[in-house]
């Protein structure tokens, strides 16, 4: 796992090259909405892209993590099927429904049934390298989604130069990131993390929570500001020093949210002694978000070491899949062509 995390900037470079060489056919009709369908490590990229393009894309962009699809999916929809293995049963189910809705479909996968169907149906698809845990392949998935949106004329963000800057940022700060991550892990590895971030960067908190789950083998919670000020804040009533508050912060966070965070820190301090602020670096949303994600990935790895667990193994997920495999998966069949 440490090598996979350490090679993140190499993955960004490879993902950029794959995206630049991808062969995609522009839709013949107007695209009125975009839906990314994917789960877990294959779905988090969709959430990241959703926040990257939120102030640029002019049509609805949503992420789907279900067997089904929203009723609005039609021939005017762009559906991006994201499954690293290509065999995620929920995504395959949604894939079939997208086919039957005559949506414009692009697949991003390392192989499996997704790529087989894409080739059978002559659908646009981007093949990414396989053989790794899906959660370690974030760059491969989210960067391809950005290229798809750009090729279809749905965004005009200069994300390529921002990603090039991100590579430089991470490479220059890698040693410091690892030192900071190790220090934080030493504080929180046996605690209960409560993760907070401003809502426009919620994906950073979701990603960190998921990495703590899978790499560190520990439960964690997250919420966003300002929404948590309207509900969760009331739940802070009992002193509990087993809780570690982790705040992901950016110097350009909205000023009223900055004020909210400072007030919340005072409230948190009445109930726990551990409040950690993780500040981003970078000049763009992409740089800042990826910086914090990479820092969180390293924290989850050092947690695994400190907790003496294998960061790679996901035996309980394998158990779940094994139990599900005992019963037949009944998926809707693609409509036959006239």
Q: Give one DSSP letter per residue of 30-73, joined into a string.
A: ---EEEEE--GGGTHHHHHHHHHSTTT-SS-EEEE-SSS--TT-
Say yes or no to pLDDT of 335 above 70. no
CA distance 231 to 246: 18
> What pLDDT was estimated at residue 338?
40
CA distance 84 to 138: 10
Note the pLDDT tens digit of each residue in 241-280. Answer: 999 999 999 999 999 999 999 999 999 999 999 999 999 9
Cβ(160)–Cβ(150) under 8 Å? no
Handedness of CA 123, 129, 132, 134 (dihedral sign): negative
CA distance 227 to 149: 29
Say yes or no to pLDDT of 336 above 60. no
Point out the residues that are catalytic: 214, 230, 321
Average pLDDT, the chain: 95
What's the pTM?
Answer: 0.94
Query: Across-strand partners of 225?
Result: 198
> What pLDDT was estimated at residue 325?
86
- pLDDT-based confidence at 26, cuts 50/70/90? confident
Report DSSP letters for 203-214, one per residue. Answer: HHHHHHHHHHHH
> What pLDDT was estimated at residue 198?
98
Note the pLDDT tens digit of each residue in 271-327. Answer: 999 999 999 999 999 999 999 999 999 999 999 999 999 999 999 998 998 898 888
Q: CB atoms < 10 A from the CB of 240, how many?
A: 13
- Looking at the chain, the domain(s) classified CATH 3.40.50.10490 span 2-157, 174-315
Handedness of CA 30, 33, 34, 37 (dihedral sign): negative
Say yes or no to pLDDT of 140 above 60. yes
CATH classification for the domain delimited by 2-157, as one of 3.40.50.2300, 3.90.1150.10, 3.40.50.10490, 3.40.30.10: 3.40.50.10490
What percentage of the chain has pLDDT greater than the value 90? 92
Say yes or no to pLDDT of 27 above 90. no
Q: Which residues have a Cβ under 8 Å from the Cβ of 87 and sit 6 or more positions away?
A: 112, 113, 114
Query: Across-strand partners of 63?
Result: 36
Domain range 174-315, CATH architecture: 3-Layer(aba) Sandwich (3.40)
């Amino acid at each position: 796992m440490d090598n996979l995390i350490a090679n993140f900037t190499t993955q960004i470079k490879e993902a950029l090259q794959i995206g630049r060489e991808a062969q995609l056919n522009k839709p013949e009709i107007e695209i009125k909405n975009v839906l990314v369908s994917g789960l877990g490590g294959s779905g988090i990229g969709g959430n990241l892209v959703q926040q990257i393009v939120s102030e640029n894309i002019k049509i609805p962009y949503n992420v789907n993590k279900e067997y089904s699809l929203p009723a609005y999916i039609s021939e005017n929809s762009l559906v991006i099927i994201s499954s690293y293995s290509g065999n995620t049963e929920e995504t395959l189910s949604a894939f079939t429904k997208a086919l039957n809705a005559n949506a414009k479909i692009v697949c991003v996968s390392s192989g499996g049934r997704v790529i087989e169907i894409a080739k059978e149906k002559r659908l646009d698809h981007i093949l990414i390298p396989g053989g790794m845990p899906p959660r370690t392949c974030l760059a491969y998935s989210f960067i391809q989604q950005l290229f798809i949106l750009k090729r279809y004329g749905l965004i005009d963000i200069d994300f390529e130069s921002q990603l090039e800057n991100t590579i430089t940022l991470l490479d220059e700060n890698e040693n410091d990131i690892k030192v900071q991550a190790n220090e934080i892990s030493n504080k929180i590895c046996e605690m209960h993390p409560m993760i907070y971030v401003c809502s426009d960067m919620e994906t950073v908190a979701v990603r960190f929570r998921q990495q703590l789950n899978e790499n560190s083998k520990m439960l964690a919670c997250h919420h966003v500001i300002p929404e948590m000020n309207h509900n969760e804040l009331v739940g802070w009533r009992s002193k509990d020093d087993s809780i570690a508050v982790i705040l992901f912060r950016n110097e350009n966070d909205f000023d009223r949210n900055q004020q909210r965070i400072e007030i919340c820190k005072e409230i948190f301090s009445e109930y726990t002694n551990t409040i950690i602020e993780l500040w981003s670096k970078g000049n763009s949303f992409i740089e800042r978000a990826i910086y914090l994600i990479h820092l969180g990935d390293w924290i989850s790895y050092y947690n695994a070491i400190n907790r003496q667990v294998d960061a790679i193994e996901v035996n309980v997920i394998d158990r779940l899949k094994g139990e599900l495999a005992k019963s037949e998966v009944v998926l809707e069949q693609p409509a036959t062509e006239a």
